[in-house]
């Protein structure tokens, strides 16, 4: 049976590309680290590293081993945490993968409140792209994921987290800034900054515009950005207009520099979902947080995204 300490040593050496750095991190001597890795290589029957005067690199076997090692350590720590929490207070680590801009405005405060109520739990929020949120769950890197599209994977369970409102923002000096609303076709006149192709905001906007026979090709898109804050700043500087989450446009640094403008007939909101594995080993921090998000005391946070 492979010793979990050898796995931890391998992972530290791989992530640091150095035996000496791994030794410092693990509070071991360098010969001990080297010996544990050699024993692990002998047990597996493969070389995990190539060594030279310039350092050490993972072999193909080592690269294949890396995600398995991370998952094994996560599972081991989760098992220890679960056993400890059954005896006393709830303790352990809760890893939440967040793939949405709107989620990162509310999730940190939610995590902070959760940690205040359960001091024995450390919350880690992992930023990732939409295409990786479910993978982090399935690979065991995350206990919960926050996503902006409904889940189609039957192995995952979802609950609505909150509803995010999307706004059309324009520079404060723009001719639309003093208007209550504009017609959808007026958007065709303006240079637009658009979110990236995988963005949930982009999908909602294009779906709503399609109701008025306005397609992506009809829009004057001159810039695509994958960061809502960067879009807000670019609009504030007067370079165009854009659709972003109201949570992003309400940033205190930009308040007064951009203006929200309603678009007649467009229903610009989306649901954000929280997802976990439907069948998995018990994990008390995850399961307690699952119910905690809709505790009445958190209603103020969930309403932040409302107009």
If 0-12 CB within 10 Å is exposed, 13-18 middle and 19+ buried, where does residue 285 land?
buried
8-22, 29-43, 66-80, 109-123: segment of lowest average pLDDT: 66-80
- What's the pTM value of the predicted model, to 2 decimals? 0.66
Multiple choice CATH, 4-73, 3.40.190.10, 1.10.10.10, 3.90.1580.10, 3.40.50.10490: 1.10.10.10
**DSSP calls for 72-140:** HHHHHHHHHHHHHHHHSS--EEEEEEE--HHHHHHHHHHHHHHHHH-TTEEEEEEE--HHHHHHHHHTT
Q: Which of 295, 247, 254 is nearest to 269 (CA)?
A: 247
Percent of the chain with pLDDT over 90: 40
Residue 251 pLDDT? 65
**The pLDDT of residue 224:** 95
**Mean pLDDT: which of 145-159, 212-226, 256-270 is highest?**
212-226
User: What does the pLDDT average to over 112-141?
Assistant: 86
Q: Where in the chain is the domain with CATH 1.10.10.10?
A: 4-73
| Burial (CB count <10 Å: 0-12, 13-18, 19+), residue 4 | middle
Which pLDDT tens digit goes with each residue over 258-289?
999 999 999 998 888 999 988 777 788 998 99
Tell me the sheet residues that pair with 123.
94
d(CA 118, CA 96): 16
Within 10 angstroms of residue 165's Cβ, the number of other Cβ atoms is 17
Query: Is residue 252 predicted with pLDDT exceeding 80?
Result: no
What pLDDT sits at residue 82? 66
Give the least confident one: 55-69, 191-205, 252-266: 252-266
Q: Confidence band (pLDDT; 50, 70, 90) for 303?
A: confident
Contact 197, 131 (CB under 8 A): no
Q: What is the mean pLDDT of residues 207-234?
A: 93
Let me know if domain 80-162+272-302 sits in CATH 2.70.98.20. no
Separation of alpha carbons 185 and 189, rounded Å: 8
Element (H, E) at 165: strand 156-171
- Find, among 197, 168, 136, 139, the residue nearest to 265 by Cα: 168
Range ranked top by mean pLDDT from 31-45, 91-105, 230-244: 230-244
The answer to whether residue 205 scores a pLDDT higher than 70 is yes
- For the residues 203-219, what does the mean pLDDT come to? 94
Pinpoint the residues of the chain covered by CATH 3.40.190.10.
Answer: 80-162+272-302, 163-270
| 140 has a pLDDT exceeding 90 | no
Q: Burial level of 180, CB count in 10 A (0-12/13-18/19+)? A: exposed
Q: Residue 191 above 80 pLDDT? A: yes
Cβ(5)–Cβ(36) below 8 Å: yes
* Region 14-33 average pLDDT: 87
Question: Domain 163-270 belongs to what architecture?
Answer: 3-Layer(aba) Sandwich (3.40)
Nearest-angstrom CA–CA distance, 74 and 93: 9
Within its chain, how far is the Cα of 216 from the centroid?
A: 27
Q: At residue 120, does pLDDT exceed 80?
A: yes
Question: CA–CA separation, 134 vs 142, rounded Å?
Answer: 9
């Amino acid at each position: 049976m492979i010793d979990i300490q050898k796995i931890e040593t391998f992972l530290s050496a791989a992530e640091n590309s150095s035996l000496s750095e791994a030794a410092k991190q693990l509070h071991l001597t360098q010969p001990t680290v080297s010996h544990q890795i050699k024993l692990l290589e002998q047990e597996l029957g493969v070389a995990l590293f190539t060594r030279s005067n310039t350092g050490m690199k993972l072999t193909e076997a080592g690269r294949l081993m890396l995600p398995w090692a991370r998952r094994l350590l996560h599972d081991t720590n989760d098992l220890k945490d679960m056993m400890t929490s059954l005896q006393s207070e709830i303790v352990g680590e809760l890893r939440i993968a967040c793939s949405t801009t709107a989620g990162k405005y509310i999730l940190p405060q939610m995590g902070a409140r959760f940690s205040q109520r359960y001091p024995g739990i450390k919350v880690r929020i992992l930023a990732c792209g939409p295409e990786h949120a479910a993978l982090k769950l399935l690979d065991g890197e995350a206990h919960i994921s926050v996503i902006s599209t409904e889940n189609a994977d039957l192995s995952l369970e979802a609950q609505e987290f909150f509803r995010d409102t999307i706004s059309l923002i324009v520079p404060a000096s723009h001719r639309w800034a003093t208007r209550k609303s504009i017609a959808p076709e007026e958007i065709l006149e303006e240079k637009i900054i658009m979110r990236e192709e995988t963005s949930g905001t982009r999908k909602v906007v294009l779906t709503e515009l399609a109701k008025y026979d306005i397609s992506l090709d009809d829009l004057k898109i001159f810039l695509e950005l994958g960061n809502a804050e960067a879009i807000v700043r670019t609009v504030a500087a007067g370079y165009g207009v854009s659709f972003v989450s109201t949570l992003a446009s309400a940033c205190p640094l930009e308040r007064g520099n951009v203006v929200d403008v309603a678009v007649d007939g467009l229903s610009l909101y989306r649901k954000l979902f929280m997802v976990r594995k439907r069948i998995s080993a018990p994990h008390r921090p995850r399961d307690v947080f699952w119910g905690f998000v809709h505790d009445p005391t958190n209603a103020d946070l969930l309403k932040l995204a409302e107009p």
